[in-house]
Structures are given as C-alpha cells and as structure tokens.
Structure 1
C-alpha cells in the first residue's frame, strides 16, 4: 500500500480550490489547508492559520512540517512568491502555483500561445511596485502572476510548476457573476457591449481544472503549463448557450470603439495551446461539448 501524500493547499476555500481539496481527500492524501482563518477546511483536512504575506507568520505556522506537494492557489504577486520560495525551500518536493491565461496579456497572436511565449526566466521582477495596494493589484493581475512565476523560475533548485489556467466556467457556485451579466441582458433584450473586433478565447470547466490540478500534484514536470479545454469560444458562442434558457429573450450585440465591454469579450485573442499538457498525459475535454451544461449549472436549470 502506497504511503499517503502530504499535501499543503494554500487558499482553496472556494470554486475549483475546494474541489481540488475534495479530490485529494478522496484519494487518501493527508491534506493541510493554510489560510487566514476566515473559513475552516472540509472535514478530514488539517488547518493552519497564517498570513502568507508575513514571512514570520508563515514560518511559525508551519513549524517543522514538510510536504510532498504544495498547491498555492492564492499567489498573486512577486512578493508573495519570494516569501514562499524562502519558506518552502527544502520543505517540499514540488510546488504547484495556480497561474492564469492573463500572463499572456502582452502577446498579440491569433495563433494559440505556447508556454514558451512567456518564459518566466526572462520576466523582470520589481518587488518595489505597490503590490499591497488592492486597486493596483487588480489592475495588474496578469503582471503580478507573471512576476510571481519569474520569482520561482529564478531558482533552478526550486521544483515548481505554474499552471496557467484558462477562463473557468461552470458550477452553481460561480461567484463571478459573468454569466448573469449575459443572462440579464438577453432576458431583457438589453444591448451587450463587445469590441468592434471581438476575439475568441480558451476556457476550462471548473471540474476539469480541479481534475488537472489533482493530476499535476502526482506528476513530476516543472515550469509553466497551459490548462485549457480543446477548442475556442467566442462571445457569440457563450451568448448562444445562455439564450437557450431564455426563449423569449433577445441577443443584441453593440460594438463599441472605446469604453467598457462585456465579460469574455476581448480585443485580442486569448487562445492557449494545450499541447504540452496533452503530451504529458492529461486528457482535456472539448469546450463545445461541456458548454451547455456549464451554463445551465451557473444559471440554474430554470435559467435564473
């Protein structure tokens, strides 16, 4: 009988993080959840309380503990990454950071981007930027993730991987409200603002990204990896799936030259090439196949 893995999850209180924890527990792993104490972990998981932004707090909470794998769900800045790299050096055989498709925000390619298009070893890190300012952080989300990846990549002895997650859809607990944005406008026939040139993007189902992270925990590869279902979706595709719940509604697109546009509408392509993960052995689903169910889950079966 194999020895249970010791896995630490930093964050993971909601959405695909809690699904990952459930999968780890079901597999018999010894799971420890570290957060600020705002919510208790599920039954069966151990709980550590610490401020991951405070190196002393993090070190004190960990004590002498070591882990086979650490899954960091809430690393948003190079400062957080620098603290984590120092604290977890020698404490884990593998560090899995949840990153984002937004690291490609400066790329302008109609061809799906590969991991090598943003090599974290070449990304400049600036620890002096106001990363503690929530407004700044929100406006620089992709850059924060890029630089966090770069901090981990700078130490060749630190065994990390950065999972660049596509836009996530599905689940009744989707807290973003993005599908509701479309549902309310289609139901009422109100205009849906989109860019004049509206590009497609890659997506992944909430259950699929939980599956992917669980799979990654057991693998040995390092460096960035794109996690996205096969295929692209346009705003029209999303609205078509939403409109199926509102037969009396109306879908009206309003192209805008300048100004705010609807969620999941992009002036540049956000397509990711998932061939590295596929070669490593993960079987992605087809986005068009799971989209209708994902929309139904989010809106509720009655469309509300």
Structure 2
C-alpha cells in the first residue's frame, strides 16, 4: 500500500501515519513546513503547500498511490483542483470531514451517515459540507474514487477534551467550582486518536469504502458531567464541584465559547456505528475515556510548562458563578 497524506501532521493525522507505518504501508506526507509533532520513522516527508495545485503537482510528480488522504481541506477552494489532479492516479481519495456537518439539533438519534447535513452559521462545519458536496459531485459525474471520513471529538494525551482545558483541572484540584454548560446531561462521544487510527487505516485501500461516507467514532456515550468527573478522578480529585449554567449565560461572560456551544456542544450527539463495523468488522475501541483521561493528566503532570491557567477564563468562571 502506497499512501499519500496531504497534511496529516496534526493529532489524528500523526496517529494515523504511525498506525499505517506499523501496518506495513509506504507513507508519504506533504506539509508546508516542518511538522510540530514528531513524524514516525519510515514516513517520507515532502514540502509544499497542498492548497496550491501547481506546487502540489510539482512535488508529487507522476507518482501514483493506492490512497490519497486530504487532512487539510477546509474550504471548497482547498479541494477544487483535486478531482482533476488525482483521478487516474489513485484508487481512493479520502477526504477528512467532520461529524459537525450534521444539523443541530439532530432530528433523529442516533446519527447515521445519512442524517441531514445542515449548518447555516457555524463556519467550520458549513465549509466542510461545501467541500463534501463538491467532491461528491466529482465522484458522481466522473471516475473520482471518493471516500468521506468523518471524525467527531477526538483527543489524545495532549488534548484535554473540555473547553476550559487545564484551567478546569486546576480549579478542581483547588476545590473551586467548574462551570458545565446546561445541566450537564447532554450526551457526547469521545474517541481516542489511537482508536481512530486503527479504524481509519483499515479503510485505506478498501474498495467497499469508495463512494461511501463513514463516521469514524467510538460509539461511547458520555454526559458532560461524566466527562468532567472522569477527568477529576484522573487528577486525583474525589469530590469535584460542578456548577451548571445555561449556554447563553456562558456566552455572555465567555464570548469565544458562544458559537461552539450554540451550534455544537449543547446538543446531544450519539452515533450509530453500523457502517463502520460493516466495513471494518474487527474494529472495537480499545481506549476507554477513564484510561484516556489518566493518560492526559499524566502527560500534563509530567510537563509543568503545559499546566497553564487561563486567568481571563478563570475570572469569567467566577463571574458566572456570582451572576
């Protein structure tokens, strides 16, 4: 298997590259600059702006690949040239989208790949939908071998999967209240990057995945209170203090959270993983969130430079609690 990653030096891309190398794949990644994360030995690195069709064509030359994976397509202009560039040169073009494309609130739970895509406001998801539609049209009208992969909320030891980040951990350790949106009972799903990589790499080169969209999620169901309580337990806090505030009230004090709460985090998100399991029957998530949370806290405790408190956010929490 010869695989070309366009981008792929971020959290889930680097996990997928490592898994692909361990699976015996010949992996090439194209990035504009030196990746911030360490690249696994055995991965060939090329330098080019993957959003520049001429630069990408020059650096890739006449090479052909079994799969091409685009990790950095965020607007239609980022992918517009790719059907022409890669048709006939790869057996599969994988576009990394997001489960945020599904309309909120979702009309029917659990979410499947055929759930309605709609996002008129949240720019990131709206642009991903536009990318999907452009590439789907190329697949329907030609020989463009498209697979759409949609991760959801993915994390690894470097990512604290709550908006407050390490500030929440420090407040819990200090016995101070942490604000949780709503009543803390909306349902959410988290996937560890290693689990994502295991499922994702199994889709590469899979003929049955061409022409399909696949939600690559763990299927775990957690409330936002459970997420905070699990992080607290990993941090050694037995009785954390959680306080609930409406998303609208939080947005008044923390404007930067307004859009993501309104159009994403406040809604319950449950997934039917039937299609993923039909395409990759051997896939079973291996990393529980309790294990993942312990990895996160251990990593931050081992790196004091990461344990920074956002003082502005800290003050905003206090203001919310007094309001």
TM-score by length of 1: 0.82
Candidates 190, 212, 232, aligned match of 2:177: 190
Question: In the comparison of the two structures, how many residue pairs are matched?
Answer: 283
- The Cα shift of 1:292 comes to 0.6
Check 1:249–1:180 CA distance in 2 against 1; reply closer, same or farther (3 A cut).
farther
> What's the counterpart of residue 246 of structure 1?
236
- The question of whether the paired residues in 1 share the 8 Å contact of 2:199 and 2:280 is answered with no
Structure 2: how far apart are the matches of 1:67 and 1:302? 38
1:68-127 CA distance string (max 9 Å, x none): 1111111111111212222212211101122111111445335111111246xxx89xxx
> What's the counterpart of residue 13 of structure 1?
9
- The question of whether the paired residues in 2 share the 8 Å contact of 1:165 and 1:226 is answered with yes
Structure 1: how far apart are the matches of 2:202 and 2:195? 10
- The question of whether the paired residues in 1 share the 8 Å contact of 2:83 and 2:135 is answered with yes
> What's the counterpart of residue 246 of structure 2?
256
TM-score by length of 2: 0.78
- The question of whether the paired residues in 2 share the 8 Å contact of 1:6 and 1:29 is answered with yes
- The Cα shift of 1:16 comes to 2.1
Deviates more, 1:38-47 or 1:271-280: 38-47
More helix by share: 2
Candidates 197, 207, 213, aligned match of 2:200: 213
> What's the counterpart of residue 115 of structure 1?
113
1:282-293 equivalences under 5 Å are 282-285=281-284, 290-293=288-291
- The question of whether the paired residues in 1 share the 8 Å contact of 2:111 and 2:271 is answered with yes
**Are 1:164 and 2:150 counterparts?**
yes
Check 1:231–1:176 CA distance in 2 against 1; reply closer, same or farther (3 A cut).
closer
Structure 1: how far apart are the matches of 2:268 and 2:228? 18
Check 1:42–1:207 CA distance in 2 against 1; reply closer, same or farther (3 A cut).
closer
- The question of whether the paired residues in 1 share the 8 Å contact of 2:30 and 2:45 is answered with yes
> What's the counterpart of residue 313 of structure 2?
none
Structure 1: how far apart are the matches of 2:222 and 2:149? 21
Q: CA RMSD in A?
A: 2.9
Structure 1 residue runs of 4 or more that deviate by more than 4 Å after TM superposition: 175-179, 261-265, 301-304
Check 1:295–1:175 CA distance in 2 against 1; reply closer, same or farther (3 A cut).
closer
- The Cα shift of 1:285 comes to 3.8
> What's the counterpart of residue 130 of structure 1?
none
Structure 1: how far apart are the matches of 2:201 and 2:94? 10
